[in-house]
Amino acid sequence: MNAKFIVGIDLGGTNLKIAILDLKYNILEKKVLNTKKYGKKEHLILAIINSITSFFKNNNLKKKDILGIGIGLPGPVDNKRGIVHFLPNVPGWRKVYLKKVLEHKLNLPVFLDNDAKLMTIAEYKLGKAKGFKNVLCLTLGTGVGSGVILNRKLYRGEDNASGEIGHMPINERGERCNCGGIACLEAYIGNNKILREARQLFKRNISLEELSAKAFEHNKLALNIWQKVGRRLGTALVGVVNLLNLDAVVIGGGVANAGTILLDKVKETVNRQSMRVQARRVKIFKARLGNDAGLIGAAILVKEQKLE
Amino acid sequence: MNAKFIVGIDLGGTNLKIAILDLKYNILEKKVLNTKKYGKKEHLILAIINSITSFFKNNNLKKKDILGIGIGLPGPVDNKRGIVHFLPNVPGWRKVYLKKVLEHKLNLPVFLDNDAKLMTIAEYKLGKAKGFKNVLCLTLGTGVGSGVILNRKLYRGEDNASGEIGHMPINERGERCNCGGIACLEAYIGNNKILREARQLFKRNISLEELSAKAFEHNKLALNIWQKVGRRLGTALVGVVNLLNLDAVVIGGGVANAGTILLDKVKETVNRQSMRVQARRVKIFKARLGNDAGLIGAAILVKEQKLE
C-alpha cells in the first residue's frame, strides 16, 4: 500500500468539513464551509470536488498518495451501494448516487455512511467507547442520532437504519415529529427546540454557546433548560439501557458542550430509573473526539473499507 | 449420544410446567403445578425434583436416557454459573445456586436461563421468528419481557440482562414501578394493570379470558381496554424499531390471546409512528408456539448446551 493519506468529509446541516488525514487519523489540513451557502445539491457537490482538488494542489499530492475518500452524511445512507436516501436537514437530497458521481469525477474510491455511525466508530476505535463491548454513542445537534456497538461490532440493521434514538417516543402524547412519529426525543432536545425554549425564557435570541456559558455562571434559567434536556435524554436512555444491558453510553455533538451540567443529569436519571443490574453496569461519558469525530470516522471507513 | 430425551421446565409466577421432550422438541408428557401453592423456595425445588423422578419412574426412563434438564425462570439469571439472581414475581428467590442444587440431587446436567430468552430462542428456531435476522420476541403476562435476536444470534448483554422492554418508560412522568423506574411499559400493560382497569370499568372482577371473549363480541369497554394496551405496546415498539431497524417483532404470552384486536392496534401504531424505512421493514406476528414456548426453549438450551 503506497497511499499515505485519506480524505475525510463530514457533511452536516450547518457545516461541511473536509480534511486530509494520515493513516493514523491525524488531521493534516481541514477546511470548514457553510453548508447553507450552497443552495442546490449540485453546488454542494461541486464545492466538495473543488476543495479536494485544491487540497491536492496545495499539498502537492498525487492521486496515488490517496487511499480514498470517506463521507459522513446526516441521514439514511445505503453504505453498500453508496446512495444517499435523503437528508432531513439539507434540502434537495433524495436518492443521490454520491459514490458514483464522486468516483467518476475524482477517480478515487469513495465510501459513504451515516454520520452518527462514523462518529460511533471513531469513538469506539480511538475515543471513550474504546474497550467496551456494548455501547451506544449519541450525537446531539439539530438532529439526535446514535450508533450502536454490540458484541464489539457496529450494529447496522438490514437497512443500515439503526441508531435512531432521536425518534424514540418519550411520551405517549405530544408533538408530531417530521419523521411521522409522536413525542420523539429529538422534538424535545434537538437544537431547535432548545433554542426556542431559551428564546421564550430569556425574551431574546440566545445561542447554545451563550446558554452553556450562562449555566456555568449558575444562571437559574439556563441551568433549568440543560437539566430538563438531561432528564429527557436520560428517560430515553433508561429504556435503551434496560433493553440492551449496555456497558457504556458516549454523548457527543454540540449540545454535549453544556458539559457536566447536562451529563450529571443524564447520569442521575439513568442511575435512579434503570434496573439495578443494568444501572450498575453502564458507564456514561462525554465523547472524546469532539467536532472531529465525524472526519476521523470517515477516514476509518476508508482505511477499513467496510465497517462492521 | 445415547440419550434420547430432555426435561424442560418453565417456572412462572403462576404455573410451574415440567415436561419430557424428545430431541425434536415434541412434548411427550407434561405436568402443570400451581407455583403459588409452594410457599417456600425449598418446597418448589422439592416439587421439581419429585416431578422429575416420578416422570422417570412412570416412563421407565434411566438417567442415561436423559440429555439434561433445562429451566426457564422469570427473572435475571446467571446462565453461565447457573444462579438465579431474583424472581420479581416469586417471593423468596434471591441468589439461588439452582444448577448446583439440582445437579447434586438428580445427577444430571442442568441449564438455566431467563424465560423470555428461552421463549425467544424457541420462536426463532421453530416458530414465527424463524428466518429473520433481527427480531424482538415479547412475552406479555404479569411481567412484560422480551428476547433480542441480532444478526441471527441471541443478544444477551454482559449481565445476560438484555430484553427488559417491560421497563422502557413510555412517559416522562407516571407511576413508580417495582423496578425503580417511572412510567415503565409493564406498569401500563402487565396483567395486573389490565385486570385492575377491567375491574374498574365492569364494576366486578373479570378474567383476561373473559375480557378477550367480550372484545370478540364487540363489547365497547373490552375493545377499548385492548386497543389501549395495543397502542401503548406500539409506542414502546416504535422506539425499539427505530433504534434497531428490526426485521420482525413476535408477540407471545397470555395477553397475546386477545389476538387480532391487540395485534392490529400494535401494527397500526408501529406503521404510523415509526420512521419510513424502519416501518417498511418490520413484520409483526403473534407467536406460534403459545404456552409451550418456554418448555421448548428450555429443551433447546439443553440440546445446544449454550445458546448464542
Alpha-carbon span A180 to B271, nearest angstrom: 10
Q: Which residues in chain A are contacts of B240 at CB distance < 8 A?
A: 243
The secondary structure of chain A, three-state, reads CCCCEEEEEEECCCEEEEEEEECCCCEEEEEEEEHHHCCCHHHHHHHHHHHHHHHHHHCCCCHHHEEEEEEEECCCEECCCCEEEECCCCCCCEEECHHHHHHHHHCCCEEEEEHHHHHHHHHHHHCCCCCCCCEEEEEECCCEEEEEEECCEEECCCCCCCCCHHHCECCCCCCECCCCCECEHHHHHCHHHHHHHHHHHHCCCCCHHHHHHHHHCCCHHHHHHHHHHHHHHHHHHHHHHHHHCCCEEEEECHHHHHCHHHHHHHHHHHHHHCCHHHHHHCEEEECCCHHHHHHHHHHHHHHHCCCC
Q: What is the mean pLDDT of each run of 10 residues along chain A (308 residues)?
A: 89 91 95 89 94 92 95 93 89 93 96 96 97 97 94 96 97 93 96 95 94 93 95 98 98 78 95 96 95 95 80
CB pairs under 8 A between A and B: 155
- The stretches in chain B having pLDDT less than 70 are 1, 256, 306-308
Say yes or no for a CB contact (<8 Å) between A181 and B235.
Answer: no
Per-residue model confidence (pLDDT) at position A306: 61
Among A275, A280, A281, the strongest candidate for a mutation testing the B interface, having the largest count of B CBs within 10 A, is A275
Is residue B288 less than 8 Å (CB to CB) from chain A? no
**A103 touches A112 (CB < 8 A):** no
B150, B155, B242 ranked by CB distance to A168: nearest: B242
Residue range B211-245, pLDDT digits in tens: 999 999 999 999 999 999 999 999 999 999 999 99
Among B229, B240, B245, B281, the strongest candidate for a mutation testing the A interface, having the largest count of A CBs within 10 A, is B245
Of all residues in chain A, the percent with pLDDT exceeding 90 is: 85
Give the H/E segment covering residue B22: strand B15-22
Q: Which residues in chain A are contacts of B168 at CB distance < 8 A?
A: 238-239, 242-243
Per-residue model confidence (pLDDT) at position B260: 84
Is residue B197 less than 8 Å (CB to CB) from chain A? no
Alpha-carbon span B5 to A143, nearest angstrom: 55
Per-residue model confidence (pLDDT) at position A307: 60
- Locate the chain A residue with the closest alpha carbon to B244: A162
Pull the grid cell for residue A27: 488531521
The per-residue pLDDT of chain A, averaged, comes to 93
Look at residues A61, A159, A139, A116 and name the one whose alpha carbon lies nearest to residue A297: A116
Per-residue model confidence (pLDDT) at position B1: 57
Per-residue model confidence (pLDDT) at position A1: 57
Is the full-model pTM beyond 0.90?
yes
Say yes or no for a CB contact (<8 Å) between A242 and B155.
Answer: no
Per-residue model confidence (pLDDT) at position A293: 94
**DSSP 8-state secondary structure symbol assigned to residue B174:** -
Report the interhelical angle of A260-273 vs A220-244 (nearest 10°).
40
Interface ipTM: 0.94
**DSSP 8-state secondary structure symbol assigned to residue B175:** P
Is residue A235 less than 8 Å (CB to CB) from chain B? yes
Is residue B156 less than 8 Å (CB to CB) from chain A? yes
Is residue A272 less than 8 Å (CB to CB) from chain B? yes
Is residue B191 less than 8 Å (CB to CB) from chain A? no
Amino acid identity at B155: Y
Is residue A179 less than 8 Å (CB to CB) from chain B? yes
Among A137, A149, A172, A243, the strongest candidate for a mutation testing the B interface, having the largest count of B CBs within 10 A, is A243
